[in-house]
Amino acid sequence: MLISVLLILFCIYLWFLNKFSYWKKLGFPYSPGKFLLGSGPGIGITEHPSYFVKREYEKFKNSAPAFGAYLMAYPILVPTDPDLIRDIFVRKYDIFQNRGFTVSERADPLSQHLLFKNDDEWKNLRTKLSPTFTSSRMKMMFTNVAAKADRMVEYLMPYAEKNESIEMKEIYSSFSTEIIADVAFGIQIKCLGNPENEFRKMANIVFQPSILENLKLFFLIAFSRTATFLNIGYTNPEIISFFMKIVKETLDYRLKNNLERNDFFQLLMNIYKTDEISFIEFAANSYVFFLAGFETSSSAMMFSSYELALNQDIQGRLRTEINEVIAKHNGKVTYEAIMEMKYLDMVFNESMRKFPIVDLQHRKNLKDYRIPNTNLVIKAGTTIMIPVYCLHNDERFWENPDKFDPERFTSENIKKRHAFCYIPFSEGPRQCIGMRFGQMQTKVGLVKLLLKYKILPCEKTIYPMKFVPNATFQCPVGGMWLKLEKLENS
């Protein structure tokens, strides 16, 4: 018996050794793999993925347009050259059009959304959903967002009056959850001051996964066919049950009462009623709107507030612009006023440069592709991870990248650098469809906050920044602690 077990283990070991020769055979520089664990044994356990990728990126960025690594035994390719990334996103889109996620509807109905769709299924669904994110649709939802921002500002007043430190990550997460519950599910909830709210609990399960959940994710990426055979999905069963129930109940209520609202849920309903999408696609795309809208906005507000607290001159200049623009709009924060705030846009972009929400973006090629001016060939079916965080913090493209400097995003400076070294929302046909809504939500929240308070660091403010190892996206260790000071005449 013991000999049989040892023989099996030895065979597994030899299989891993063979897998770990993949990049060497193709001629790519690579980060070597370790038995069972791959190139980054501490990813999601002792360090955040962005740290591992950045460390390896720095080793190889000047020697090749891409380098290889291993997720468990699974080979992944990490481009370091913006020209190659432009080919992947735009010039050779027909080859790199898919993200490569595959999961059965039976195993995970909530994964049947736009983000995970491939080929013509993605194209058809994107065409149906695109009209829901036009400027006119954004204006329709603006009032809902502004009302939630007003509630957040009022909720924070006692903390400012008592000069107390505030964990702003929870504040912004609650603010975003209230908005998404409203516009994506048509439900009025109050998360601020109520961390036990069911929506907040669900968000925590998604964005603060356990080590076991992270290992499951790695398995799904590395062994997708096996995972499909075993009926394993990306989404936690508790999450599936909660959101399927919410969508079904809300849909039934609106249909029964002939109720219509100016929100994303209504726009999906209109498509659903014409039989252009199934109920599962309806539920899945409501869910992905929750994922994208929640994390993009809450994290962007959190990191923007962090940098504004550490850079009071920038905060002062931004507040001046806000007051000047609002004065032109009869003292009101309107959609048009937000769109006029150029420095606000620069601050937002610089925050997304330093702390991109999606630090790795996925693609998988449909056929072999030889990288121009090299003998390196990306074999068909390769999982490609675009290192957004690395590109955004690379001194080759950004002078003194650790410095927070919105001036990088003047129209003149934008023209001076490679267009594909700043890609927070991806680029090309698969650019984030909800980008404008996420930006609007973030900017409205920041404007309302800065009209009322000065944002300050406190004794608990983390510096330098350090990310939680097992968080889905970049999240500060210990939370984001800041202080607010009420402005005179506010």
Of residues 215 and 99, the one with the higher pLDDT is 99
Mean pLDDT over 436-442 rounds to 92
Mean pLDDT over 254-278 rounds to 89
Residue 370: left if φ>0, alpha if ψ -120 to 50, beta else—which one?
Answer: beta
Closest residue by Cα to residue 142 from 449, 448, 446, 437: 437
Whether the pLDDT of residue 434 is over 90: the answer is no
Q: What residues form DSSP beta bridges with 483?
A: 456
Q: What residues form DSSP beta bridges with 481?
A: 167
Q: What is the 3-state secondary structure (H, E, C) of 329-383?
A: CCCCCCHHHHHHCHHHHHHHHHHHHHCCCCCEEEEECCCCEECCCCCCEECCCCE
pLDDT tier at 146 (50, 70, 90 boundaries)?
Answer: very high
% the chain with pLDDT above 90: 65
The whole-angstrom separation of Cα 28 and Cα 81 is 14
Mean pLDDT over 62-83 rounds to 95
Closest residue by Cα to residue 307 from 224, 413, 408: 408
Alpha helices in 230-341 (DSSP H): 237-257, 264-273, 279-310, 312-328, 335-340
pLDDT of residue 351: 98
Mean pLDDT over 428-435 rounds to 91
The whole-angstrom separation of Cα 433 and Cα 142 is 17
Whether the pLDDT of residue 231 is over 80: the answer is no
Mean pLDDT over 133-142 rounds to 86
pLDDT of residue 293: 73
pLDDT tier at 1 (50, 70, 90 boundaries)?
Answer: low
CATH 3.40.140.10 fits 1-91+362-396, yes or no: no
Whether the pLDDT of residue 226 is over 80: the answer is no
Closest residue by Cα to residue 70 from 14, 12, 18, 5: 18
pLDDT tier at 153 (50, 70, 90 boundaries)?
Answer: very high
The residue whose two tokens read 């193709």 is 26
The residue whose two tokens read 């989404």 is 235
Instruction: Note the Cα 141 to chain centre separation in Å.
Output: 21
pLDDT tier at 21 (50, 70, 90 boundaries)?
Answer: very high
pLDDT tier at 150 (50, 70, 90 boundaries)?
Answer: very high
pLDDT tier at 164 (50, 70, 90 boundaries)?
Answer: very high
Burial (CB < 10 A; 0-12, 13-18, 19+), residue 310, is middle
pLDDT of residue 228: 73
Mean pLDDT over 464-488 rounds to 93
> Which residues contact residue 121 at a Cβ distance below 8 angstroms, ignoring those fewer than 6 apart?
none
In a 13 Å sphere around the CA of 490, the CA atoms on its Cβ side amount to 19
pLDDT of residue 147: 95
Average pLDDT score over the chain: 91
Helix (H) or strand (E) holding 455: strand 453-457
Whether the pLDDT of residue 273 is over 80: the answer is yes
Whether the pLDDT of residue 6 is over 90: the answer is no
Whether the pLDDT of residue 135 is over 80: the answer is yes
Mean pLDDT over 190-205 rounds to 85
pLDDT of residue 489: 77
Residue 370 has phi, psi (to 5 degrees) of -90, 125
Residues annotated within the binding site for heme are 432
Residues annotated within the binding site are 432
DSSP 378-421: E-TT-EEEEEHHHHHT-TTTSSSTTS--GGGGSHHHHHHS-GGG
Cis before 65 (ω within 30): no
Q: Where are the domains of the chain?
A: 1-91+362-396
Give the length of the chain: 490
Of residues 110 and 368, the one with the higher pLDDT is 368
DSSP 104-149: -TTT-GGG-STTT--HHHHHHHHHHHGGGGSHHHHHHHHHHHHHHH
Lowest average pLDDT, out of 5-19, 86-100, 457-471, goes to 5-19
Whether the pLDDT of residue 291 is over 90: the answer is no
Whether the pLDDT of residue 429 is over 80: the answer is yes
Whether the pLDDT of residue 55 is over 80: the answer is yes
Residue 367 has phi, psi (to 5 degrees) of -150, 170
Mean pLDDT over 324-328 rounds to 97
The whole-angstrom separation of Cα 194 and Cα 327 is 35
* Cα–Cα separations (whole angstroms), residue 57 to 61, 68, 225, 448: 6, 10, 29, 39
Cα dihedral sign for 158, 161, 162, 165? positive
Mean pLDDT over 107-131 rounds to 89
pLDDT of residue 10: 67
Whether the pLDDT of residue 490 is over 70: the answer is no
DSSP state of 30: B
% the chain with pLDDT above 70: 98
Whether the pLDDT of residue 129 is over 80: the answer is yes
Mean pLDDT over 248-273 rounds to 90
Of residues 203 and 285, the one with the higher pLDDT is 285
